[in-house]
Structure 1
């Protein structure tokens, strides 16, 4: 079953999801004031990633109630190298001003070690980063514009079993042409909209304590057409809908279940494989970089493996058209959180 959401409020008067399912746009209205769960269970974040064939950058602002988070990552696929600098903010409790819509409201966070700006502008989004001490003093400063023409996106509202006030409201926007410049250690890299594409992961919700999720994403050009996909699973009750979608020239094609087959004992060694219950997404993934992080404080635990690499295989659109994919740059991840 793949239930498509109608328009309306996200939560009812008890703080539970009014309707579970997926959508092509922001059909449901999220309001933090409607949440009825304890404050420490609320999770809100915006994550952007821009990739071209040579390099990538990832930026995160998160307000996870008892822990805020600002992060910038640089990816060099030729080395290969992944470098991340981050700042933790204790007990923000909603004070970071995360917007209640993915389509309105700016985020501006300034800290002595890192400043991030996610702003809406006509036709797209402006991202800025300034991290003077990045990579042990090499420094990072960047300014990017992500164009956002009219196009479908992945939207999903997911409940959690046996937790009526827990939910996950997530939007993933793929295939945004990116332009701009990042300077690291005095060297500049220019992102061109012909070859660089950005994605947004916009998450709002009330999460249960212990979850492991799987997520994959890619955006680019195939045979002259804007192409991308979002795949994932692992937390919540997805019986109403999955978050699996293909995007072709701005149009979403809905998939059923996709399974990640990760080689035992390695994340950036042997190839991964992906299979689908409907036979419409079959891929092999060759890793390049494992952007890993591990925090284990027993009560709080986060083990992350976001692996960047290349997808090869095929997808099938809603009309039955088969699209062959070869060495298509993207990422796939496994993340375990107790938070």
Structure 2
């Protein structure tokens, strides 16, 4: 899930958390294109897909535009300079939320610029498919960015005082992604449509931070995309973790783990990626005593065992009574193993990524 920006101070909260999704998961796979919604606004077919087969049409949603949530969230991970740059472009109906953040592992700090544009009402340019070529852009005095999908390339351009980016990453049709469409038990017209594209590999370009320019290929940077559309329930909590990089054989690797958000009985969004191929994972548990101590992540079948070591917190809390957002995103490194679909054990060493717990009421 995308981390939505709010103009508020950093806040750290200690919690003891042990969470698990206990439903029996079907893992229904969609293998061909399908219209997302029925005429009554319910999902036509729930499940997961290895390509963005779900055909989204905003006009078919049976809800006010204020209830519809749409976002594109990007993260560029640089294992050499040890930083992550996060970019959020979101339209929640009542407002468009835009953010640019630098997560600096070496100095253990998160620096963010954000902007809110009220009553955007889904006129910001976000489209209905992550497959389609398009450009979205935002600009103000603090920063500007544009995201272009053209053929097999995602082109990221950022301009700000401290961060400037002009880089391209690969996302061709051969690259598998994790896509899910699920609804809420309490309201089947409320739904979550999402694509996570993990470990997109660098083609060309640079990232410049405070005058220091780094080549995306030389530094083996990777790109993560969280593409989401949906009509949510008013109050919800989610858990999400993702990581990407390269292994010792120079294969692109990464994973996406998430739960707690919508009824995941039809399918989960849990997957590991090796050389652009998806290896499905079922139920996953996140165990942690506090957000800045080790997290343990395991599945129910013994195919996944990860330890997440936190380095940098990126936290915020807003309470306007009618709108509440409590967001705890932690950046660090993952170690452990995953069993691939062919039974091979894949070791994971010091893989850069993040994990988060987010509560929203809006």
| Shared fold (TM-score, shorter chain, > 0.5) | yes
Which of 107, 113, 127 pairs up with 2:136?
107
1:198 paired with 2:226, answer no
Contact 1:45 1:60 in 2 (8 A): yes
- Residue matched to 1:215: 240
> Gaps spanning 5+ residues in structure 2: where?
1-25
- Residue matched to 2:287: 261
> Gaps spanning 5+ residues in structure 1: where?
133-138
- Residue matched to 2:309: 286
CA displacement 1:165-204 (0-9 Å, x = unmatched) = 1100000001111343333433334432662100100000
Greater RCO, 1 or 2 (C-alpha within 8 Å, sep 6+): 2
Contact 1:177 1:194 in 2 (8 A): no
Shift of the alpha carbon at 1:15?
1.2
Shift of the alpha carbon at 1:18?
0.4
Shift of the alpha carbon at 1:309?
0.8
1:43 paired with 2:69, answer yes
- Residue matched to 1:83: 111
CA displacement 1:282-337 (0-9 Å, x = unmatched) = 11110011111221112111111111111111100111111111211111111111
**Secondary structure, in 3 states, of the residue corresponding to 1:106?**
strand
Which of 96, 121, 126 pairs up with 1:98?
126
**Secondary structure, in 3 states, of the residue corresponding to 2:223?**
strand
Equivalent pairs counted in the alignment come to: 330
- Residue matched to 2:298: 275
TM-score under structure 1 normalisation? 0.94
Contact 2:201 2:252 in 1 (8 A): no
Which of 152, 165, 169 pairs up with 1:146?
169
Contact 2:51 2:177 in 1 (8 A): yes
Contact 1:40 1:64 in 2 (8 A): yes
- Residue matched to 2:207: 182
Contact 1:177 1:193 in 2 (8 A): no
- Equivalent residue runs for 1:1-339 within 5 Å: 1-5=26-30, 6-53=32-79, 54-104=82-132, 105-132=134-161, 139-149=162-172, 150-178=174-202, 179-192=204-217, 195-224=220-249, 225-263=251-289, 266-268=290-292, 270-339=293-362
Separation in structure 2 between the aligned mates of residue 277 and residue 153 of structure 1, nearest angstrom: 22
Query: Runs of 4+ in structure 1 displaced over 4 angstroms?
Result: none
Contact 2:271 2:280 in 1 (8 A): yes
TM-score under structure 2 normalisation? 0.88
**Secondary structure, in 3 states, of the residue corresponding to 2:205?**
strand
Shift of the alpha carbon at 1:227?
1.3
Query: Root-mean-square deviation (CA), in Å?
Result: 1.4
Separation in structure 2 between the aligned mates of residue 191 and residue 298 of structure 1, nearest angstrom: 43
Q: Relative to 1, partners in 2 of residues 1:71 and 1:124: Cα closer, same or farther, differing over 3 Å?
A: same
- Residue matched to 1:135: none
